[in-house]
Amino acid sequence: MRAKTVRSRVVELRRVRAGALRPNPRNWRRHPKRQREALRALLSEVGFADAILARELEDGSLEIIDGHLRQSMDLEATVPVLVLDVDQAEADKLLATLDPLAALAIADPEPLRALLESVETASEDVRMLLAGLATEADVRARLGLIDPDEIPEPSEPRAKPGEVYVLGEHRLACGDARDPELLGRLMGKERAQLLLTDAPYGCDYAGKTPSRLRIENDDEAGLPDLLQSAFAAIDAVLAPGAPIYLFHPAGPASVCFTDALAQVGWKIRQGLVWVKDSMVLGHADHHYRHEPILYAGKPGKPVGRGRAGWYGGNAETSVFEVPRPKASREHPTAKPVELISRLMGNSSTFGDTVLDPFLGSGSTLIAAERLSRRGFGVEIDPTYVDVAIARWEAFTGKRARRKGGRR
């Protein structure tokens, strides 16, 4: 039996003034400034090498199906347009699926590494794009750098409260997340476009290291005041509309978290669940094998799936099945970098500023490094600050420095 021939829906290739094309009112993609600048640089270096897809309407105008960003770069430019013979329903199907289908591809690290080594560009925006491609494909981790979840052994701390460290594109402050002055020095004029953090759970948890590292301020009695004062200080450096991911306990203490969010005016959007590959031994009748995550947002511009600020796919669910880190003994509640990366990837794009005011051993910075985000962290324990710095240095092969001086 002969295979069914796939019909071609291409009518013709036209060269059209970009401004004459009609944007699709159902276009669901929004394009941040850094993406626009990267494409502008690529067009300058190479030129148009991809046709815009459009369909002809009854009035003779051409409505875009794919290529809105390219069309918007220069409305006076003459651009190549493939005109398709499709109806409204078929155009909607293409509009909804072309980008997600392309995003399903996975990288083969060796050919990708060879390709990236051969590409030269004068544009910083294109370099950031290529760096994001390399790190999202986890090329460096696959080719011999440390496991992203590996946490170095702690030693006598060198970091001191009040110090701010520069780790490439990232910043890390040693101090209290409730301190507005410290947050101001950390962020400068920046405003965090995403808050992703694992705040204290109020369980007075001590680590299993020889020095028995303890998570500061992590006792139940002081938890409500801690969260409310910290969230109020954090809100001042958080951009309007910024998404928020907040790990919280599965027991009665979860009320402290929802109350603190309400006090500062952040709006809960959804409850998410991290399902682990093994249970966590504790005092509860039923040992926990999951951990809840509050997905919230600061009031402002609407964000989420189908709107600006959402970069995840249409198939994301509320359940994240990710194994626990195998090297977390240096921080008793360390989260896997894969989990943090998935949350970060859903609600930020490359170059965005991500804040973790309870940084711990630095998993959020590692995720930000992998995804070409700019991570800003606060950690109250100088030992954990040193651990986070050592971890980033081991992962990247780079050196951190103290702001205003040497490490």
> With bands split at pLDDT 50, 70 and 90, how would you rate the model's confidence at 13?
very high
The CATH architecture of the domain made up of 10-103 is Alpha-Beta Complex (3.90)
What is the reported pLDDT for 213? 45
Strand (E) or helix (H) holding 101 = helix 88-103
Instruction: Say which residue, 10 or 1, is predicted with more confidence.
Output: 10
pLDDT of residue 145: 44
The reported pLDDT for the residue numbered 148 is 65
CA dihedral 336, 341, 343, 344 (to 10 degrees): 140
Give the separation between CA 260 and CA 357, rounded to whole angstroms.
Answer: 15
Alpha carbon of residue 172 to chain centroid: 17
Q: What is the pLDDT of residue 192?
A: 97
Instruction: Return the pLDDT at 82.
Output: 97
Residue 185: pLDDT band (50, 70, 90) is very high
What pLDDT score does 112 carry? 79
Q: What is the DSSP string of 108-126?
A: -HHHHHHHHHH---S-HHH
Average of per-residue pLDDT values in the chain: 85
Confidence of residue 142 (pLDDT cuts 50, 70, 90): very low
* pTM, rounded to two decimals: 0.64
Contact, 301 vs 319, CB < 8 A? no
* pLDDT at residue 117 in the model: 74
Fill in the DSSP letter of residue 7. P
pLDDT in tens, 336-390: 999 999 999 999 987 899 999 999 999 999 999 988 899 999 999 999 999 999 9
Of the chain, the end-to-end C-alpha distance in Å amounts to 71
Which residues, 6+ apart, have CB-to-CB distance to 293 below 8 Å?
Answer: 245, 246, 247, 248, 271, 272, 273, 274, 320, 343
- The number of C-alpha atoms within 13 Å of 326 and in the hemisphere containing its C-beta is 2
State the average pLDDT over residues 140-151.
Answer: 52
Q: pLDDT of 274-287, one tens digit each? A: 998 887 777 777 88
What distance in Å separates the CA atoms of residue 214 and residue 80, rounded to the nearest whole number? 61
d(CA 100, CA 313): 7
| Average pLDDT estimate for 72-100 | 95
Which of the four CATH numbers 3.30.110.30, 3.40.50.150, 3.30.70.260, 3.40.50.720 does domain 145-402 have?
3.40.50.150
Q: Which of 10-14, 119-123, 180-184, 370-374 has the lowest mean pLDDT?
A: 119-123
Above 70 in pLDDT, residue 212? no
What's the rounded mean pLDDT across residues 304-314? 72
Band (210; pLDDT cuts 50, 70, 90): very low
pLDDT band at 215 (very low <50, low <70, confident <90, very high): very low
CB burial of 379-393 (b: ≥16 within 10 Å; e: otherwise) equals: bbbbbbbbbbbbbbb
pLDDT at 236 over 90: yes
Q: How confident is the model at residue 202 (pLDDT cuts 50, 70, 90)?
A: low
Portion of the chain with pLDDT greater than 90, in percent: 55
Classified as helix, coil or strand, 314 is coil
Supply the pLDDT for residue 302: 64
The pLDDT value recorded for residue 366 is: 94
CA 28 to centroid of chain Cα atoms: 19
Lowest mean pLDDT segment, chosen from 28-32, 55-59, 225-229:
28-32
Q: What is the mean pLDDT of residues 220-232?
A: 87
Domain ranges of the chain: 10-103, 145-402
- Residue 57 — very low, low, confident or very high, per pLDDT cuts 50/70/90? very high
User: Any idea which of 99-103, 176-180, 211-215 has the lowest mean pLDDT?
Assistant: 211-215
Distance CA 148, CA 309 (A): 26
Q: What angle do CA 53, 58, 59 make, to 5 degrees?
A: 95
Higher pLDDT, 133 or 7: 7
Return the pLDDT at 200: 81
Give the strand pairing for 78-84 and 52-56: parallel
